[in-house]
Amino acid sequence: MPKINVYLPDELAEAVKAAGVPVSAVCQRALEQAVRRITAIRETGLGSPGLDGSGARFASFTPRARTAVSLALEEARAGGAAEVGTEHLLGGLLAEGTNLALHVLRAVEVDPGQVRRELDALGGNGAVSAAPARFSGPAAAALELTVSDAIALGHNYVGCEHLLLGLVAEPEGTAGRVLRRLGAEPRLTRRAVTAALAGYVHLRAQDQAAAERPPRSSPESLSEAVRRELRPIVQRLERLEERLGRPAEG
């Protein structure tokens, strides 16, 4: 049976040994899942991009991410495009309107409204077409990077934030060029996603703790509560920008 070496940080290796984790079985299971996800999304670039009947291909996508892809298909059709390009996937992210990727863009000082204007300036042919036949090469590559990023971050789902990372990292597509030109540099964006996700974990823990506490006699206003709970995210992103040599604004 072939052998694959897996390198771990010293602390994790010691923890694995101490816990008696069956490394081979765990790695096999994780690799099987990763291969299935990447193979499924890779096949997306070879067939129809529609979500109907493609549950296996997009099974790990969150509802918001699936909505973003659906909106991308609609945008490509409305623009008369023969293929769904990275610009349509980015447009779908923007059109969905409620996802974490938009917060990440703002955190790295990229205005989603400006991104939308940049995409609109590119334009289409103005004619509504039938459903696009397939994803373009760069779009298919961006989707593959999307799934790879989710796996690399240890997530069992694919969200809009992963799609943003895939679009930023893909070198040939329009979306990546627009995002990078506006300041969404891949390393900075990845760090911002990591920090934002850590902040949301914190928020969920805080919400659960608040739900278990008895009600306060003089509750704080909603805006005060939001500011208080978002403070850890802001602080993380400020430290992130400082480490990357981009001083955060006060």
The reported pLDDT for the residue numbered 203 is 47
- Ranking 60-69, 192-201, 227-236 by mean pLDDT, the lowest is 227-236
When mean pLDDT is compared over 40-49, 136-145, 196-205, the highest value belongs to: 136-145
The reported pLDDT for the residue numbered 101 is 92
Answer yes or no: is pLDDT of 205 > 60: no
Residue 66 CA to residue 223 CA, distance in Å, equals 30
**Residue 141 carries which side chain, given as an amino acid letter?**
A
Answer yes or no: is pLDDT of 91 > 70: yes
Please name the residues in contact with 144: beta carbons below 8 A apart, sequence gap of 6 or more.
38, 41, 42, 45, 166
Buried residues in 166-187 as b, exposed as e (16+ CB within 10 A): bbbbbeebbbbbbbbebebbee
Give mean pLDDT, residues 14-28.
72
Does the reported pTM lie above 0.75? no
10-190 CATH:
1.10.1780.10
Residue 218 CA to residue 193 CA, distance in Å, equals 35
- In this structure, the dihedral spanned by the alpha carbons of residues 61, 75, 187 and 147, taken in order and rounded to 10 degrees, is 30
Answer yes or no: is pLDDT of 243 > 70: no
**The length of the chain, given as a count of residues:** 250
The reported pLDDT for the residue numbered 13 is 74
Instruction: State the CB neighbour count (10 A cutoff) for residue 239.
Output: 13
Give mean pLDDT, residues 219-223.
43
The reported pLDDT for the residue numbered 49 is 53
Give mean pLDDT, residues 73-95.
91
Q: Where is pLDDT greater, at 118 or 218?
A: 118
pLDDT bracket for residue 125 (50, 70, 90): very low
Answer yes or no: is pLDDT of 198 > 90: no
**C-beta separation of 61 from 155 below 8 A:** no
Cα 108 to Cα 114, 148, 152, 157, 179: the distances in Å are 13, 22, 21, 23, 11
Answer yes or no: is pLDDT of 47 > 70: no
Model confidence pLDDT, tens digit, residues 149-191:
888 888 888 999 999 999 999 999 999 999 999 999 988 898 8
